[in-house]
Amino acid sequence: MHSQAPRYFALIPAAGVGARMAADGPKQYLHLGGKPMLRHTLDAFLSSERISHTFVVVSAGDPQIDAVAPGHGVTVLRCGGATRMESIRNALAAMAAMAEPVRDSDWVLVHDAARPGLNAVLIDKLILEVGVHPVGGLLALPVVDTVKRAAAGALSTISRDALWLAQTPQMFRLGLLREALAAATDAAAVTDDASAIEALGHAPLLVEGHPRNLKVTLPRDIPIAEMYLAAP
């Protein structure tokens, strides 16, 4: 039982180099709609009254974060690792060890820095629909296109029933998320936080997200993201 009122913290891993973007630097600092992609992401959490505080984890020598992170409501953690999973592990440990620590029972919303289309509406929807779920949950989109599998020269159609595309934020209590990531031995198998939780035998709740919350991975994603950012 968790007798204390629930608290919600955002965690944005931003130690990646964005190799697939073919840019001059990390993709989270590319400018979209007049400001760095990461700043759009930070602003989304700052706009939600439900978020107590936002943490962003970067590599130790990141030279750009100070010019991007606002001076209030955001704490920069310079403990990023070689992988996303390692960065989150390090960040959760740092959050739990602070003078005013994030408790094991507090909710942590882990969100990709490269999803700048997040907004307060989606954050609130995730928090409200997860509610007191015993595991947690994540934003996701039901698959609507026909899905094909091509393997060894053969082509087959896969039923799209019950198929979802995972988005972020992915929201779990800090204690459970730390346990799941500590138990994960194969970083390649843990493609998101929910997969680590699932490996412990838990079933997170899927909350329908929105296409505006797309992940900017390739150069062709930029104009789509900017279109959504320009919309209300």
Domains of the chain: 8-230 (3.90.550.10)
At 200, phi and psi to the nearest 5? -85, 0
Q: How far apart are CA 211 and CA 215, in angstroms?
A: 9
The partner residues of 53 in beta bridges, in order of sequence, read 9
Contacts of 193 (CB under 8 A, 6+ apart): 88, 110, 138, 170, 172, 177, 180, 181
pLDDT along the chain (232 residues), means of 10: 80 75 72 94 97 96 93 94 93 96 97 97 98 97 94 90 96 98 85 94 98 95 95 80
- Which pLDDT score is estimated for 71? 82
Q: pTM (2 decimals)?
A: 0.93
Q: How far apart are CA 168 and CA 153, in angstroms?
A: 34
102 and 174 Cβ atoms separated by less than 8 Å? yes
Buried b (16+ CB within 10 A) or exposed e, 58-76: bbeebeebeebbeeeebee
